[in-house]
Amino acid sequence: MIEITNLVKRYGDKKAVNGISFTVQKGEVLGFLGPNGAGKSTTMNIITGYLSSTSGTVKVNGHDILEEPEEAKKCIGYLPELPPLYLDMTVLEYLNFMCDLKKVPRAGRKEMLAKILSMVKIVDVADRLVGNLSKGYKQRVGIAQALIGDPEILILDEPTVGLDPNQILEIRKLIRNLAKDHTIILSSHILSEVQAVCDRVVIINHGKVAAIDTITDLSKKLSGSSKLLLSFKGSVKDVKNALQALPGISGINERVSDSDIHEIDITVSNEKGSDVRTSIFYAMSKGGWPILEFRSLDHTLE
């Protein structure tokens, strides 16, 4: 869907982007992470065609962003960190203006805008001035303009910056729904948000790719093994004997407990396909030991 090869962007002697290469598959939600000044926004601006690269290539659906900019840009909806809003327009006036810029045919435009307004939940403010809206609603209007023309790819730069907790949850839910029909690149400093919605992450630092992987595999690489916490009622000795016989489990440690509720840490080998949660569940069920809590102890993305 998106193919980035040896991307370089120079500002004088400084390389803001220094040889970045990665791909984004169709239907994927990719988290794009890195500290301030790492080159995230520069890379996204190059992908969208807003900036040109010094060297390297960006292909969107097979179209080179420099050689076929119009065809490539048709595939992209972009929400910059600061949404490009006209505060003296109403929401509908602004979205119609964006339709004109994107050359959306007038036939069917009304139905398309009604669908987008409903999707991002701004129907109630469609006739209000953009400048009078709250930060959360302005962010929704920014996402709405990115959806105009039904692009296959959405690039969202800090979509929840400055929002309150309720607004963050609403935007996160919206992104999950959009992911059903779109390929998404999501840049955010809220790592729990990335962990909740992204299939894979690209981490860049000083303009270079530091890591590319799924969040689960990154965690395993950091810790060297996976760990699970199991809280249950029953005989610790019997549970340990039953679970140690399961393939993929390399160790079990009991936690100190003063009640009839026991906790054990289960160390899982890092062999590919060694997800033992299902077999643990069936073993506990067969032994008649109620599971009260069962969760991962792996590193979070933070």
30-65 pLDDT, tens digit per residue, is 998 888 888 888 898 899 988 889 999 999 988 999
Residues 143 and 250 in one domain: no
Sign of CA dihedral 41, 34, 215, 229: negative
pLDDT confidence bin for 224, thresholds 50/70/90: low
The predicted structure's pLDDT at residue 144: 93
**Token pair recorded at residue 73:** 């840009």
- Domain assignment present for residue 105? The answer is yes
The predicted structure's pLDDT at residue 300: 66
Q: Which pTM does this prediction carry?
A: 0.74
Residue 159: other Cβ atoms inside 10 A: 26
Tell me the residue range of the domain where 214 lies: 2-219
The predicted structure's pLDDT at residue 166: 83
- Domain assignment present for residue 301? The answer is no
Residues 162 and 255 in one domain: no
- State pLDDT tens for residues 94-112: 999 999 998 899 888 999 9
What does the pLDDT average to over 17-28? 90
Greater model confidence, 209 or 195:
209
| CATH code of the domain containing 160 | 3.40.50.300
Q: Chain-wide mean pLDDT for the chain?
A: 86
What does the pLDDT average to over 144-165? 87
Sheet holding 76-79, edge to edge: 76-79, 153-157, 183-187, 29-33, 200-205, 208-213
Q: What total number of domains does the chain contain?
A: 2
